[in-house]
Amino acid sequence: MRLNRLLWLVAIAGIAFSCQKEKSDVKRKALLEVEGKFLYLDQVQDIIPPNVSSDDSTQIADSYIKKWVTDVLVYENAKRNISNKEEIDQLLEEYRKSLIIHQYQQKLIQQRLPQEPSEEEMQTFYENFKDQFQLSENIIKGIFLVVPVNAPKINNVRSWVRSGDTKALENIEKYSLQNAISYDYFGNKWTPFSEILKKFPVQIEDPAAYVSGRKFVEVSDSTKHYFLRIEDFRKTGQTEPFEMARPRISNLILNKLKAEFISNFENEIYKDAVDNGSVNYFEK
């Protein structure tokens, strides 16, 4: 049904199917022709999302066909009216050449370079360039738990969060399923302290001093209890932990390896061409 409704859109170009030119793809159903370019039914079908109504599909097809026809007309009109065709052809050729070279280089990189540096390489890089990894904000590891003010076993919850050991974490997990408003465990992942503060009903003037002077924080308002355990912290200006800097270190090393590989490859291919006589210099 949708396909039948699409056919009326041929009228946009004012051209009937009987007028189609012989150079159209006979294996495909042509909808219209303009300036020697053909639009086929399968092209329109491909852009229509599944499970849309007939009215919506018709509207989508209408817009697509109008845009397609307009693009062809503007392009063909532009070709007839520009004077710098040679310059455009040169730019296109340069772009094509650059694109082919880039694709070839990427293929060589995938074949010959590792997907990720070794742990030893990354650790060495980190140690040698620690001054490049300075924190721009305070970060912490820990536990953050929010429960209703009337939640049961508050004393137990307080004790579990203070402890933070394996058994306490198990108890918190079980308790949170039925009683917690929110529970975040980030004891193994550095988290910006600012993200935790967004959930905390307190105003802190000096976050760095706040995290460095506490291991456990409990705050309450009229509806909730907030519990925070700070397992570890790093302050703004300190060296970023390796595990946090690791993805950037990997990218930095790989980018350096790629740049060196491309440079060496280009030098080698040039040297080989000169040595085997592929490059012929003419006397001035």
Radius of gyration of the chain (CA): 33
- Domain finish residue from 192, 214, 234: 234
- Residue 151 domain-assigned? yes
Q: Distances from the Cα of 206 to the Cαs of 7, 92, 142, 278, in angstroms?
A: 68, 57, 19, 69
The number of residues in the chain equals: 284
- Residue 240 domain-assigned? no
Helix H segments across the chain? 2-7, 41-46, 54-81, 85-112, 119-128, 154-163, 166-179, 193-197, 207-212, 242-275
Domain range enclosing 174: 136-234
Q: Quote the pLDDT of residue 21.
A: 47
Q: Quote the pLDDT of residue 15.
A: 40
- Residue 187 domain-assigned? yes
Q: Quote the pLDDT of residue 219.
A: 92
* Statement to judge: residues 71 and 148 lie in one domain: no
Q: Distances from the Cα of 85 to the Cαs of 37, 75, 92, 152, 256, in angstroms?
A: 21, 13, 10, 79, 39
* Statement to judge: residues 230 and 140 lie in one domain: yes
201 contacts 219 by C-beta, under 8 angstroms: yes
- Domain finish residue from 18, 47, 81: 81
- Residue 239 domain-assigned? no
* Statement to judge: residues 76 and 147 lie in one domain: no
Q: Angle at Cα 198 formed by Cα 197 and Cα 201, nearest 5°?
A: 75
- Residue 90 domain-assigned? no
* Statement to judge: residues 155 and 220 lie in one domain: yes
Give the type of residue at 241.
P
Q: Angle at Cα 66 formed by Cα 63 and Cα 71, nearest 5°?
A: 120
- Residue 98 domain-assigned? no
- Residue 124 domain-assigned? no
CB count within 10 Å of CB 3 equals 13
Q: pTM of this prediction?
A: 0.67
Tally the domains of the chain.
Answer: 2
Q: Which two three-digit tokens encode residue 45?
A: 């079908």
Helix H segments across 82-215? 85-112, 119-128, 154-163, 166-179, 193-197, 207-212
- Residue 75 domain-assigned? yes
Closest residue by Cα to residue 243 from 150, 119, 156: 119
* Statement to judge: residues 75 and 142 lie in one domain: no
* Statement to judge: residues 211 and 144 lie in one domain: yes
* Statement to judge: residues 151 and 230 lie in one domain: yes
- 100 beta partners: none
* Statement to judge: residues 143 and 210 lie in one domain: yes
* Statement to judge: residues 69 and 151 lie in one domain: no
Phi (first) and psi of residue 211, to 5 degrees: -75, -30
The conformation of residue 147, written as its DSSP 8-state character, comes to E
* Statement to judge: residues 140 and 228 lie in one domain: yes
Q: Quote the pLDDT of residue 82.
A: 86
Q: Which pLDDT tens digits describe the chain residue by residue (284 residues)?
A: 444 444 444 444 444 333 444 467 778 899 999 999 999 999 999 999 998 898 999 999 999 999 999 999 999 998 888 888 888 889 999 999 999 999 999 999 999 999 899 999 999 999 999 999 999 999 999 999 999 999 999 999 999 999 999 999 999 999 999 999 999 999 999 999 999 999 888 888 888 888 887 899 999 999 999 999 999 999 999 999 999 999 999 999 999 999 999 999 999 999 999 889 888 888 77
* Statement to judge: residues 6 and 72 lie in one domain: yes
| CATH assignment of the domain containing 210 | 3.10.50
- Domain finish residue from 81, 96, 114: 81
Residue with tokens 């650059």: 98
* Statement to judge: residues 69 and 147 lie in one domain: no
Q: Quote the pLDDT of residue 212.
A: 82
Q: How many CA atoms lie within 13 A of 252 on its CB side?
A: 14
